[in-house]
Chain A
Amino acid sequence: MAEAQQFPYVEIDPSLGAASALPYVPLTLEHQGNVVSVSALVDSGAALNVLPYDIGLQLGAVWEQQTIPVQLTGNLADSDARAIIVAGTVGRFAPARFAFAWTRNNQVPIIVGQVNFFMEFDVCFFRSRSIFEIRPRE
């Protein structure tokens, strides 16, 4: 079993401190030779991965070339989304293939959810200590 790598929770609003802490993981995305370093919300309650529009553009993706629509719900339901596959590297682990719902929306963080981040990595949250651990699946 690969050794887990530990990451700290990130306090989004310094004035609120621990009340605003969320598990954001540093993630390096690569698509068609373009590399973008981002911070992604590790969201075990999200059914899928979500990529904001501008990040997709930074990766060199072309909206018209992504032809598979992805149906989103909630606040994201009003924005079109299309499937895109991106290579992603977490910490010191080998790159993995991630399928994202690339949304036309920019008001959303990069979300890594059940499909397929949690299918590639085992994640353990230790909220009381404001850390979480990630290791590749066996």
Chain B
Amino acid sequence: MTLSELLPTIQSLPRADKLRLIQLLAADVARDEGIALDVADKTVPIWSPHDSFRGAATLLQVLSDDKVAS
């Protein structure tokens, strides 16, 4: 498969997957070149939804609607 065939698929990936792909490619190249690239092949999960304000607003609305209904 050529790069031009892959590009449309890559471009349709979600942003998080694009970032993961960049990390994987960087890690692959670094490994081939014998370069230590610690950051590229490590995943550091940060689960805290610290800025999910739109979601928080949705939950407040759901609570409000539920209170009115009950």
Interface residues of A (CB under 8 A from B): 43, 45-50, 68-78, 81, 83, 85, 97, 99-101, 107-109, 111, 113-116
Contact = CB atoms under 8 A, between A and B. Distances in A.
Nearest to B53: A47
Interface of B: 14, 16-17, 45-56, 58-60, 62-63, 66
Given A47-B52, A78-B16, A101 B59 contact: yes
Contacts of A50: 47, 49
Contact of B51 (A49, A70, A73, A116): A73
A49 B49 CA distance: 9
Contact of A49 (B17, B53, B59, B66): B59
Contact of B59 (A43, A78, A109, A115): A115
Contacts of A100: 59
B47 A85 contact: no
B63 A72 contact: no
Contacts of B14: 77-78
A48 B47 contact: no
A75 B59 CA distance: 19
24 contacts: A43-B48, A45-B48, A46-B49, A46-B50, A47-B49, A47-B53, A47-B56, A71-B58, A72-B49, A72-B55, A74-B46, A77-B16, A83-B58, A83-B59, A85-B63, A99-B62, A101-B49, A101-B59, A107-B45, A111-B47, A111-B49, A113-B48, A115-B56, A116-B63
